[in-house]
Structure 1
Amino acid sequence: MSNEVLLCISVILLFGGTLLFYYLMGITGLYCWTVLATISANIEVLILIRAFGMEQTLGNVMFASTFLVTDIISEIGGKEKANRAVNIGIMTSMMFILISQLWLLYTPAQGDWAMPSIQAIFSNTPRLMLVSFAVYAICQKFDVWLYHKWWELTDRKYHDHSRFLWLRNNGSTMISQLLNTVLFTLGAFWGVYDGKTLLSVLGSSYVIYLVTSLIDTPFVYLARKIKPRSEA
């Protein structure tokens, strides 16, 4: 199966999974998804692939789903609950960094087979995880703030609280994702890849974020119509 097909399946699976978690558990389910996505994206980002003619890291779609989460919570639960999801993601990322680095301090038994692979993956990730942690905190807080700024703007102009969901969703996410792409790519990979690869990763990552930002808009509209089973 090609990387392109797998990425398309990932978008449907991850965005659909976000809605499923919301349907089953309400906003609590979205908090749970934040934990899952934060840990998974920190691991996936280590894998470099080529798809749609571009070199790119995995983790982009998974990380994009965290923006879908905050937009859904902002729309349904308000700014305070959306910021709570961001704080959960920040704490999850921080604890994952500490726990994964603690693994490396153990002396494996003679019959162990897993430690070399664990060391190969996680001994190279403190920089990625720390950058991811910082960028996540900055960009997600900014996204929530900008989402509600767009909402305040359309409310003042049109006096209709429910309209222009597409504007606040895309207007906040696209700008936040640009900030995220630049900060993370330069912070995580400067000096690791050559300049050509770095620009390719930066450009391809933002293209994916733009596409996923547009794709996630119908999912936010669907979330607004869903009545979580826990509230039925």
Structure 2
Amino acid sequence: MLKNEVLWIIKLFVSFIVVLGSYKMFGKIGLFIWIPISMFIANVEVMVLVKIFGIHASLGNIAYSSAFFVTDILSEKYGEEDAKKAIWIGFFTNIVVAFMLNFALVFTPEAEGLETFGNLKSIFGLFPRFMIVGLISYTISQHIDIYLYKKLKERFPKQLWIRNNGSTMVSQLVDNIIFTSLAFAGVFPINIMFEIFLSTYILKWIVAAMDTPFLYLATKMDSKKSLC
């Protein structure tokens, strides 16, 4: 197995463990905290294109998909309203972060700080575009995910794996169509865009399937530490 694939799998499991650790330590508020963290990481890592399993993919897939893992935990244990609250927490924090970062880039740096300033500008110069597109796709797809999760829970009350995977896989398809079309138009040629779309969706299927055991673990964890 190649280096990127090994690192990708390690990163995937680390993300799941961190989510559960945050939940264990802080309860429901730990899940709320993870949403803006995951979105910020995803918005930065989406600019990094790597080759995994022989196909091009954005590195932000794991962090972004972990947000859906979190809202599934919230939907399962606390209900639709708390899951929607997490969406708007992520929305608000990412707008604030994008504004403050880009406001900082308006300043004129000292000569000795030009190189560092230039590096920041090259990283966060494209950030608003990805952030805006990401927020659009994120908000739409997350609401679809929560709605489908609720409906599947009513239809399959004993099959946690069905509602987890079913809701995420449909909502991620919608998310992928919106994000790939708007974020990468004019950045990459059509063939690369399609490869990113296909590879991203396949990887998100894998993430959704692999987070299922961790969702089962989350349902068995003590929820008495919830602060909200």
- TM-score tier by shorter-chain length is over 0.9
Deviation for aligned residue 1:227: 1.1
1:180 aligns with 2:175: yes
Q: What is residue 202 of structure 2 aligned with on the other side?
A: 207
Q: Take 1:19 and 1:193, find their aligned partners in 2: how far apart are those partners?
A: 36
1:121 aligns with 2:123: yes
1:44-76 deviations in Å (ceiling 9; x for gaps): 111011111010111100001000000001111
Secondary structure of 1:50's counterpart equals strand
Q: Counterpart in 1 of 2:219?
A: 224
Please state how far the C-alpha of 1:125 moved relative to its aligned partner: 2.4
User: What is the CA-CA distance between 1:152 and the residue it aligns to?
Assistant: 2.0
- Following TM superposition, by how much is the alpha carbon of 1:34 offset from its aligned partner in structure 2, in angstroms? 0.9
Q: Which amino acid aligns with 1:189?
A: F
CA RMSD, aligned part only? 1.3
Structure 1: give runs of 5+ residues left out of the alignment: 155-160
Match of 2:89 in 1: 88
Judge conservation of contact 1:68–1:220 (CA < 8 Å) in 2.
Answer: yes
| Deviation of the 1:228 alpha carbon | 4.4
SS of the equivalent of 1:55 reads: strand
For the residue of structure 1 that corresponds to 2:47, the secondary structure is coil
DSSP-derived class of the 2:19 partner:
helix
**Following superposition of structure 1 onto structure 2, how do residues 72-151 of structure 1 map, counting pairs within 5 Å?**
72-112=73-113, 113-151=115-153
Q: Distance in 2 between matches of 1:184 and 1:227?
A: 36
Asked if 2 retains the 8 angstrom alpha-carbon contact of 1:23 and 1:229, the reply is: no
CA distance in structure 1 between the partners assigned to 2:197 and 2:189 by the alignment: 12
Q: Does 1:13 align with 2:14?
A: yes
Question: What residue number does 1:48 align with?
Answer: 49
* C-alpha distance in 2 between matches for 1:55 and 1:145: 31
Query: Counterpart in 1 of 2:61?
Result: 60
Q: Percent identity?
A: 37
Q: Which residue of 2 aligns with 1:158?
A: none
- Aligned amino acid, residue 138 of structure 1: I
In 2, Cα distance between equivalents of 1:178 and 1:21: 28
Deviations 1:165-190 (A, max 9, x none): 11111110000011111110111001
SS state at 2:111 partner: coil
Q: Report the Cα distance in structure 2 between the residues aligned to 1:102 and 1:218, rounded to whole angstroms.
A: 42
Cα separation, 1, equivalents of 2:4 and 2:104: 31
Map of 2:163 onto structure 1: 168
Structure 2 portions without partners, runs of 5+: none
Q: How far has the Cα of 1:229 moved from its partner?
A: 7.0
Count of aligned pairs: 224
Residue equivalent to 1:29: 30
3-state SS of the aligned residue for 2:120? helix
Partner in structure 2 of residue 69 of structure 1: 70
Say which SS state the counterpart of residue 230 (structure 1) adopts: coil
- Are 2:28 and 2:225, in contact at CA under 8 Å, matched by a contact in 1? no
TM-score by length of 2: 0.95
